[in-house]
Structure 1
């Protein structure tokens, strides 16, 4: 499970040095947790999911400021559709349902989210959203902000949207790994109606 060493990785200087730390400290946690989530979510979805772990291969100078993994129906990638993400910034761990990097059906997904506010406005109060997967900012999942974010997702080509939960670095959940894992799984399970609805595009 994530611990203080996981967050300390982002203090390591140098691209290769930080990637060594990410591969050693974070990626094994991604793999273990995603195997667990995959088995649970596949049972509910009755379809196969594939684990993807970001390798940051396009970077040549700057070390990554966050890192992530994904679960999707696609074996060769995940950004072409709405997918589940598990990742970490220096300040928190995140669990998202993600629409990023301009998937083919992005506009239709935005329209579906606008037409089905029950997918997101009935989520627990601690759910939040993010508008850019490389920026750590996130916002309360309230009506006005979400409606503006969805209009942006529909109208702006490079716009993104991620919905889910974050666990801050200093959260007491990290003291109970089983409780943290259950909280993460509950997050993805709460997002399943939205996930199913967005797979049509």
Structure 2
């Protein structure tokens, strides 16, 4: 297995001042690991989804001033890009690793998906593992824990997806930095594997 696991050095990249300096460290330390995870999970996600999947490592190419606060590899059924599509992600903020199924604001079928989610709200409330989390904005690290979410709160998120232009929906799992750096590469891969398999029904609904 090529993936070597995440270290404190990887997370510390997000404390480096300056766009060029941080990008250089990101390319050196984190990007090769995201490439490895990209190669590792593309065949499995293709098999699980029934769609040919392609991985895309974030390039942060449009940035001219602010250094990136997070970075990721995304998987989608399109060789050219993932933002318009339902997709999966593995990535890092300074504080944690995230593993997501995501439909973000560029996706054209958001409204339809919001309706489908709303129709399945009971099922999703019961079947989503309680340690999973939700987000309505991929640019912020804040999440809502599934454990303790009411049907009404979940419904509100699904409704927002249908009515708000910039709305997004992400569901998945966070691994705190302290835990991630102690995991062996195999433990990490096994956890991602479990999360992706659990998220497949959401992908199928999309």
Q: 2 CA distance for matches of 1:69 and 1:115?
A: 30
Q: 1 CA distance for matches of 2:183 and 2:205?
A: 35
Q: 2 CA distance for matches of 1:7 and 1:181?
A: 18
Change (3 A) 1:124 1:51: same
Change (3 A) 1:172 1:44: closer
Q: 2 CA distance for matches of 1:196 and 1:25?
A: 34
TM-score, normalised by the number of residues in structure 2: 0.91
Q: 1 CA distance for matches of 2:197 and 2:191?
A: 10
Partner of 1:11: 15
Match of 1:24 among 25, 28, 33: 28
Q: 1 CA distance for matches of 2:70 and 2:178?
A: 17
Which segments of 5 or more consecutive residues in structure 2 lack a partner in the other structure? none
Whether 1:193 aligns to 2:201 is yes
Query: What is the Cα-based RMSD across aligned positions, in Å?
Result: 1.4
Match of 2:159 among 132, 148, 151: 151
1:47 CA drift (Å)? 2.7
Whether 1:170 aligns to 2:178 is yes
TM-score, normalised by the number of residues in structure 1: 0.93
What is the DSSP-based 3-state SS (H/G/I as helix, E as strand, rest coil) of the residue aligned with 1:87? strand
Partner of 1:106: 110
What is the DSSP-based 3-state SS (H/G/I as helix, E as strand, rest coil) of the residue aligned with 2:182? helix
Q: 2 CA distance for matches of 1:90 and 1:145?
A: 28
Which deviates further from its counterpart, 150-159 or 164-173?
164-173
Q: 2 CA distance for matches of 1:172 and 1:32?
A: 16
Whether 1:33 aligns to 2:17 is no
1:119–1:193 contact (8 Å) kept in structure 2: no
What is the DSSP-based 3-state SS (H/G/I as helix, E as strand, rest coil) of the residue aligned with 1:170? helix
Poorly superposed stretches of 4+, deviation over 6 Å = none
1:26-63 Cα distance to aligned partner (Å, 9 max, x none): 11111111211112222223331101011111110110
2:49–2:203 contact (8 Å) kept in structure 1: no
Whether 1:133 aligns to 2:141 is no
1:173–1:180 contact (8 Å) kept in structure 2: no
Whether 1:53 aligns to 2:57 is yes
